[in-house]
Structure 1
Amino acid sequence: MPQSLLTPTALRRASLDAVLGYAWEADAVTASDVIENVGLTRSTAIDVVDELVERGLLAELPNARAAGEYQKGRPARRFSFLADAGYVVGVDAGRARLTATVADLRGETQAVRHLAADGSRDSAEDRRRDAVRVVDDALAAAGITRSEVSALCVGVPAPVDRNGSSPPHRDDFWRRMNPSFSELFGRWAPIVQVENDASLAAVAERAVGAAVGCDDFVTLLAGERLGAGVWVDGRLLRGAHGGAAEMVAFDHVAGVEGAWGLGYRAAELARRALAKGSLPSSSALRELDPAVIDGKTVLTLASHGDAGAMVVARQVGETLAVIAGVLASLFDSRRIIVSGAVAAGAAPVIEAALAALPQELDLPAPEIVASELGADIVSVGAVRAAVEAARTGVLDLPRFVLAS
């Protein structure tokens, strides 16, 4: 909106938002910095900075002379953003494991807590109880109370619309995974977001991972089940019901036939090969109980050159090539990022996929890379989303509103 159309109140709010956003990222700021980088007059810059100090979001630092950085003339007043003025919580509410990360307003981690859940008992009541428990455990570990939380974001293995709700599903799985988390945490957290877990993985990759500076990419959560967070033209896709890139589409794709993840596929193929007796005699997989074979074990062995595991990895890689080809054809992506716990052992799978990928595409083939953000990537993305939500809404929170 042009400044000439802003009311004095709206103009003031715009100035506060702009200065706070600048200070949020800076180590220290002066009025001159604000004038140069935000475009305010000196009197407005000084007035806005003083108000942010009064609101408890900025603090005045020792002046430049006292800090040994200024020798002559009148020293400039210096200010810093108070990252510990509030805190955010990022939650990965997976089906079998929940993770809560508490961070300050700049996203610096204060505490992380994990909670194993019984995936076979995924009732709404169980999910709500477990989510509250892991969040409260993380807050206690950080020495932070609920009243100090400015924003909270939860990632769930389900589509999520703009209101934080999940649509109906044939067996109501999505709503069991997201049992009104917005309402649950909204009872005490002033800003609450609920998002699809793969979308939050994409947020994490764009902020601090393999997609920094990339506007067109897909983050593929690929452990037990497939999930995709898609960025196109610098924007995260959501869809009318939060179902953009819903992986059930792969039920109908030859060579994939389902939304099973890469880890799941590696374990299943290894078990089948073991049952058939088709594994090379040198393969360590021959010595394992089929019940303990999992994707991590197979891919770790493949990365170490185990002949049987490498055959499995090549097969999984050929499937990944089909998946990447479909995603890249639909979204014209520059990069496909294999994310989550499975990424640590994904190198042999990605190598095989890259070899097969050109056959799947007419468009230029995307890169396929492994994430370095580990198993907690969804929680990392939830923290980043909560930080951004706090930046947008912190000035309206009661604890930062000036008394009349």
Structure 2
Amino acid sequence: MSDIDATAIPRGARASVETVLAAVWDDEMFTSNDVMPRVGLTRSTTIEAIDELIRFGVVEELPNARAGGDYRKGRPARRFAFRPDAASVVGVDAGRTHVIATVADLRGRPLARISRELTTDLDDALRRQEVVAAAIDAALAEARITRDGVVAVCVGVPAPVDSAGRSPVRHNEFWRRMNPDLVDTAAPWAPLVRVENDASLAAVAESAHGAATGCRNFIAVLAGDRLGSGVVIDGRLLRGAHGGAGELIPFDHVTGVGSADGIGVHVATWAREAAARGRIGARSRLAGLTAEELTAPVVFHAAQAGDPDAADIIARSARVITRVAAVFGGFFDPERIIFCGAIADSIESALVPARAMLQDEMDLPAPELVASPLGADVVAIGAVAAATESARAHLLAFASAPLTASSR
């Protein structure tokens, strides 16, 4: 499967075969009569395409209606099913301090997941490549799948990524350390390899499984440690010449925001500053906590419980959220801004006042502010969804032989 050969399916038949495959990918069971009106092909061409997909290994023929017990009269129709187990995909969330590798079938259903924690002194490029490769191999081993059984790999990183999967060199080289050409890690053995910015994959996840389902204009904001965004306008994920379309370092220069630090960092920092200056009341839920214990979730939960000191901090974060949303709204005119990552589980108490304030900040209609339902796994979920998307678009373009269970 690692040898790309465009002659695997005859060129003249490829278009009709790809059309039929796209139409049946999500079907549990189908007949040629089910497919014909959806693809606009003749019966003979449709059947030929289905037979080609059976030969290729991604569709199987089921027992006919008579054998299945549904036959009544007349000639029983041939019945078919897409084979999501014909091959596998791998999605990787390669964050600053963690690597999560997930193996899934062709419909994105997880088969195995491996998580590795990293320390911040392991920013060495070679070491990072090794950790990512080892996590992928460990997840494949857990799923009992060989590299030959993988058709697509997607890796998410905290850096801008261009269309070739490379990150630009910045003066501190952080982006290159986060993405030391990770596209080359799987390229020797995986037919389809994709590296994306982590916030862009959050947008993919929200579109496929989260708060943006059916929405064509939205922004997914990773808001925990650092602000990052995936921007989808008119149904298309924006990238830019160097992958920087969603990069938020320019917020360093925006009054009322002041940096690209995430909402979680702001909340924790303000709580620690208040404690150090003696501004936390003795009866506050935050009183007596160490700096390490004064985390964003703790402050959010205290505010939700009615703690006034915590509520003041959350109100301050709401003003930052409002300004961030107003900038996004003015530049991109989205329908919705989705706050993603681990912070999404507790950010609602800040979104409530931010929604009200945003109405007065904008000339355009204000976008809806929502918390993601996908939690801390949003990038890992998006990486699998993107790998599945790649397989769905290009599955038939590369293999020199049919997919078989023996490759797994």
Fold shared per TM-score above 0.5 = yes
Does the 8 A contact of 1:357 with 1:365 survive in 2? yes
Moved over 4 A (4+): 8-11, 399-402
| Match of residue 280 from structure 1 | 281
- 1:244 is matched with which residue? 245
Residues 270 and 25 from structure 1, CA distance in 2 versus in 1: closer, same or farther, beyond 3 angstroms? same
1:383 alignment partner in structure 2: 384
Q: Distance in 2 between matches of 1:335 and 1:230?
A: 11
Partner of 1:32: 33
Match of 1:359 in 2: 360
TM-aligned CA deviation for residue 121 of structure 1? 2.6
Task: Name the SS of the counterpart of 1:176 in structure 2.
Answer: helix
What is the aligned partner in structure 2 of residue 348 from structure 1? Answer: 349
Q: Does 1:370 align with 2:371?
A: yes
2:335 paired with 1:334: yes
Q: Deviation per CA, 1:173-195, whole angstroms, max 9, x where unpaired?
A: 11111111111110211110000
Query: Partner of 1:75 in structure 2?
Result: 76
Give 1:150's aligned residue.
Answer: 151
What aligned pairs does 1:34-183 form with structure 2 within 5 A after superposition? Answer: 34-183=35-184
CA 1:315–1:58: 2 relative to 1, 3 Å:
same
Q: Which residue of 2 aligns with 1:231?
A: 232
Q: TM-score, normalised by structure 2?
A: 0.94
The separation in 2 between residues aligned to 1:280 and 1:353, in whole angstroms, is: 25
What secondary structure is seen at the aligned counterpart in 2 of 1:291?
coil
Question: Which whole-Å CA distance do the structure 2 matches of 1:271 and 1:13 have between them?
Answer: 61
User: Does the 8 Å contact 1:107/1:383 carry over to 2?
Assistant: yes
**What is the Cα deviation at residue 332 of structure 1?**
0.3
1:303–1:347 contact (8 Å) kept in structure 2: no
2:5 corresponds to: none
With over 3 angstroms needed to count, the CA separation of the structure-2 counterparts of 1:352 and 1:381, relative to structure 1, is same
**Residues of 2 paired with 1:173 and 1:283: CA distance?**
39
Change over 3 Å in CA distance of 1:345–1:400 after alignment to 2: farther
* Greater Cα shift, 8-17 or 369-378: 8-17
CA distance in 1, matches of 2:93, 2:401: 28
- Taking the aligned partners of 1:194 and 1:377, their CA distance within structure 2 comes to 16
Q: Residue 21 of structure 1 contacts residue 391 of structure 1 at CA under 8 Å; is this kept in 2? A: yes
Counterpart-to-counterpart distance in 2, 1:314 and 1:400: 60
Q: Is the 8 A contact 1:337 1:370 kept in 2?
A: yes
Task: Tell me how far apart the structure 2 counterparts of residues 214 and 398 of structure 1 sit (CA, whole Å).
Answer: 34
Q: Which moved more, 1:65-74 or 1:15-24?
A: 65-74
Q: Letter of the aligned partner of 2:266 in structure 1?
A: R
In 2: Cα distance, 1:329 partner to 1:228 partner: 15
| Offset, 1:15 | 0.4
Instruction: Please state how far the C-alpha of 1:92 moved relative to its aligned partner.
Output: 0.6
Alignment match, 1:325: 326
Cα deviation 1:187-244 (Å, max 9, x = unaligned): 2111100001000100010111100111111000000000000011111111011100
1:306 and 2:304 correspond: no
Partner amino acid, structure 1, of 2:109: E
Write the distance in 1 (CA, Å) between the matches of 2:294 and 2:368.
30
CA contact (8 A) 1:87 1:102 kept: yes
Provide structure 1 residue ranges, at least 5 long, that are not aligned to the other structure.
1-7
Q: Which amino acid aligns with 1:99?
A: I
Give secondary structure in 1 for the equivalent of 2:14. Answer: helix
Amino acid at match of 2:208: A
Structure 2 distance, partners of 1:355, 1:39, is: 49
User: Any idea what SS the aligned residue of 2:44 has?
Assistant: helix
Letter in 2 for 1:59: E
User: Contact 2:57–2:402 (CA<8 Å) still a contact in 1?
Assistant: no
**8 Å contact 1:139–1:146 — kept in the other structure?**
yes
Following TM superposition, by how much is the alpha carbon of 1:167 offset from its aligned partner in structure 2, in angstroms? 0.8
Alpha-carbon spacing, 1:349–1:125, altered in 2? closer, same or farther (3 Å): same
Give the counterpart letter for 1:396 in structure 2.
A
Distance in 2 between residues matched to 1:120 and 1:299, nearest whole Å: 30
CA apart distance, 1:120: 3.1
Distance 1:399 1:379 in 2: 30
* Aligned residue number for residue 220 of structure 2: 219
Letter in 2 for 1:162: S
How far is the alpha carbon of 1:53 from its aligned partner? 0.5
**Corresponding pairs, count:** 396
Tell me how far apart the structure 2 counterparts of residues 92 and 354 of structure 1 sit (CA, whole Å): 31
Paired with 1:14 and 1:209, the residues of 2 have a C-alpha distance of 32
The separation in 2 between residues aligned to 1:329 and 1:11, in whole angstroms, is: 48
Deviation at 1:302?
2.1
Distance 1:349 1:119 in 2: 30
Displacement of 1:307 after TM fit? 2.3
The percentage of aligned residue pairs carrying the same residue is 49
Give the secondary-structure state (helix, strand or coil) at the position aligned to 1:292. Answer: coil
> SS at the partner of 1:73?
coil
| 3-state DSSP of counterpart to 1:287 | coil
CA contact (8 A) 1:222 1:262 kept: yes
1:290 and 2:291 are equivalent in the alignment:
yes
What's 1:3 paired with?
none
State the 1:11 CA deviation.
Answer: 4.2
Distance 1:309 1:135 in 2: 41
CA distance in structure 2 between the aligned counterparts of 1:301 and 1:51, rounded to whole angstroms = 60
Stretch of structure 1 that moved more, 115-124 or 318-327: 115-124
How far 1:297 sits from its partner (Å)?
Answer: 1.9
Whether contact under 8 Å (2:249, 2:259) holds in the other structure is: yes
Displacement after TM superposition at 1:362 (Å): 0.9
Check conservation: 1:90, 1:379, Cα contact below 8 A.
yes
Aligned to 2:189: 188
